[in-house]
Amino acid sequence: MSISPTEKLFSIFDQTALMLEKELSCSYLEAIAETGENLFHKAVLQDEISEITVKRIKKQYEQINLDSMTNEEIRKAYQLAILKGMKQQVQSNHQMTPDGVGMLVSYLVSKFMGACPRYRLLDPAIGTGNLLTTVLNGQTNKEIESIGIDIDDVLIKLAYVNANLQKHSIELFNQDSLELLFVDPVDVVVSDLPVGYYPNDLRASEFKLKADEGHSFAHHLFIEQSCRYVKPGGYLFFIIPNHMFKTSEAPKLHQFIQNNLIIQGLLQLPLSMFTNEQAGKSIFILQKNKEGIIPPKQVLLVDLPSFSNSKAIETILYKINNWFKENKQVN
Ligand code: SAM
């Protein structure tokens, strides 16, 4: 039975990462970044490993030609390897954005940006780069300058290798995104927000959405911070927890949104994607206020069916297209 290029590449990532993990005494996830970088440079870059392992790794690399693969094939293989690594090193807030969600966000970005030929795109919680590169892969004939930020050094390394393997030029910063950013205003923000408390109360005190008492919600501060760095009229696509509007801090968030942003859409992801109802998430679409912008007649409200139900997804896409025809000049 023949295997797909994605399966083949995953197997090479996996086999070589296992060898590097052992020889470098690092985690499997770190080894994935190492082997990905090797593949990109077409060389074994680690000089602390034995000659025999170098030979075995090279033999694996000879079995694949990345130039003959599409970006999506490469991304999916890399994603599978990272998923395997994340299973061993579970950190709920570091989870990669699932494929179906990334593809839907990508579709929405292309619909909202319409024919705009070039723009700047920021993901302030880029993680492994899976969401951002899925979005980039979904935009054709566009000149997109992208920027990614993450506080986690292993994840940003994975994002860096991910970008290289897919030949996307992404400017990356390894820092706390809630600190001052050296980023010029962008046209679009996409982000699967980290959910929970932000530990730095001093920094949080610089935000309107800081909590009155105790730690503030990181996801609220991320929304405010993104709003600072997006141009007037720019769009923001966030993956948010469904409970975001149900906490005692929600009225302040509502007020902030009302003063600065226009709600475009709220698409609830199928609950079957999450371990329990409490963990459910939605895609929240906003636009930064700008004089002359007319809010949609109706906010795009969607309860998404399971992504495996293609018939129901088709109906929803039809509904989304109709919403665009009625509420947006683009498309
Ligand atoms: N979209 C990403 C992907 O496809 O891999 C996953 C994003 S994950 C849900 C949230 C990310 O936020 C994690 O990578 C985490 O390290 C990052 N993060 C959490 N707090 C942060 C902070 N203060 N500044 C920057 N990044 C942060």
pLDDT digits (tens, 9 = 90+) for 145-180: 999 999 999 999 999 999 999 999 999 999 999 999
Task: Find the angle CA(239)-CA(245)-CA(250) to the nearest 5 degrees.
Answer: 120
Ligand 1 mean position to 131 CA, how many Å? 11
Q: DSSP letter for 118, please.
A: E
CB-based contact 18:143 (threshold 8 Å):
no
Total residues belonging to the chain: 331
Residue that is last in its domain, among 69, 89, 109: 89
Ligand 1 mean position to 154 CA, how many Å? 11
The CATH number linked to 14 is: 1.10.150.470
Ligand 1 mean position to 141 CA, how many Å? 28
Which residue, by CA, sits nearest to atom 13 of ligand 1? 94
Greater confidence, 91 or 128?
128
Q: Are residues 176 and 272 in the same domain?
A: yes
Beta strands 118-123 and 143-150, pairing class:
parallel
Report d(CA 168, CA 137) in Å as an integer: 9
**Percent of the chain with pLDDT strictly greater than 90:** 93
Report d(CA 195, CA 43) in Å as an integer: 39
Q: What pLDDT is stored for residue 331 in this prediction?
A: 41
Q: What pLDDT is stored for residue 94 in this prediction?
A: 75
**Percent of the chain with pLDDT strictly greater than 70:** 98
Q: Which of 286, 273, 310 is nearest to 108 (CA)?
A: 286
In angstroms, the Cα distances linking 80 to 11, 130, 152 are: 10, 11, 20
Residue that is last in its domain, among 22, 57, 89: 89
Atom of ligand 1 lying closest to residue 191 CA: 1
Report d(CA 245, CA 240) in Å as an integer: 10
| Mean pLDDT of the 73-87 span | 96
Q: Are residues 149 and 264 in the same domain?
A: yes
Q: Are residues 63 and 119 in the same domain?
A: no
Q: Are residues 218 and 143 in the same domain?
A: yes
Q: Which of 33, 4, 39 is nearest to 128 (CA)?
A: 33
Mean pLDDT for all residues in the chain:
95
Q: Within 10 Å of residue 165's Cβ, how many Cβ atoms?
A: 23
Q: Are residues 97 and 132 in the same domain?
A: yes
Which residue, by CA, sits nearest to atom 15 of ligand 1? 94
Residue that is last in its domain, among 62, 89, 116: 89
Q: Are residues 30 and 176 in the same domain?
A: no
Q: Are residues 51 and 166 in the same domain?
A: no
Ligand 1 mean position to 2 CA, how many Å? 37
Confidence of residue 211 (pLDDT cuts 50, 70, 90): very high
* Burial class for 247, CB neighbours closer than 10 Å (0-12, 13-18, 19+): middle
Number of structural domains the chain divides into: 2
Q: What pLDDT is stored for residue 328 in this prediction?
A: 84
Q: Are residues 152 and 71 in the same domain?
A: no
Q: Which of 92, 150, 216 to mutate to test the pocket of ligand 1 (most atoms within 8 A of CB)?
A: 150
Q: Are residues 13 and 103 in the same domain?
A: no
Q: Are residues 82 and 105 in the same domain?
A: no
Atom of ligand 1 lying closest to residue 239 CA: 9
Report d(CA 330, CA 114) in Å as an integer: 5
Q: Which of 99, 155, 193, 239 to mutate to test the pocket of ligand 1 (most atoms within 8 A of CB)?
A: 155
The CATH number linked to 322 is: 3.40.50.150
Atom of ligand 1 lying closest to residue 194 CA: 10
Ligand 1 mean position to 123 CA, how many Å? 9
Domain that holds residue 51: 5-89
Q: Are residues 38 and 175 in the same domain?
A: no
| β partners of residue 145 | 120
CB-based contact 190:237 (threshold 8 Å):
yes
Tokens of 328: 């947006």
Ligand 1 mean position to 105 CA, how many Å? 17
Q: Are residues 154 and 11 in the same domain?
A: no
Report d(CA 303, CA 310) in Å as an integer: 15
What DSSP string runs through 246-309?
A: GSTTHHHHHHHHHHHEEEEEEEEPPGGGSSSGGG-EEEEEEEE--TTPPPPSS-EEEE---TT-
Q: Within 10 Å of residue 52's Cβ, how many Cβ atoms?
A: 9
Q: What pLDDT is stored for residue 292 in this prediction?
A: 94
CB-based contact 281:287 (threshold 8 Å):
no
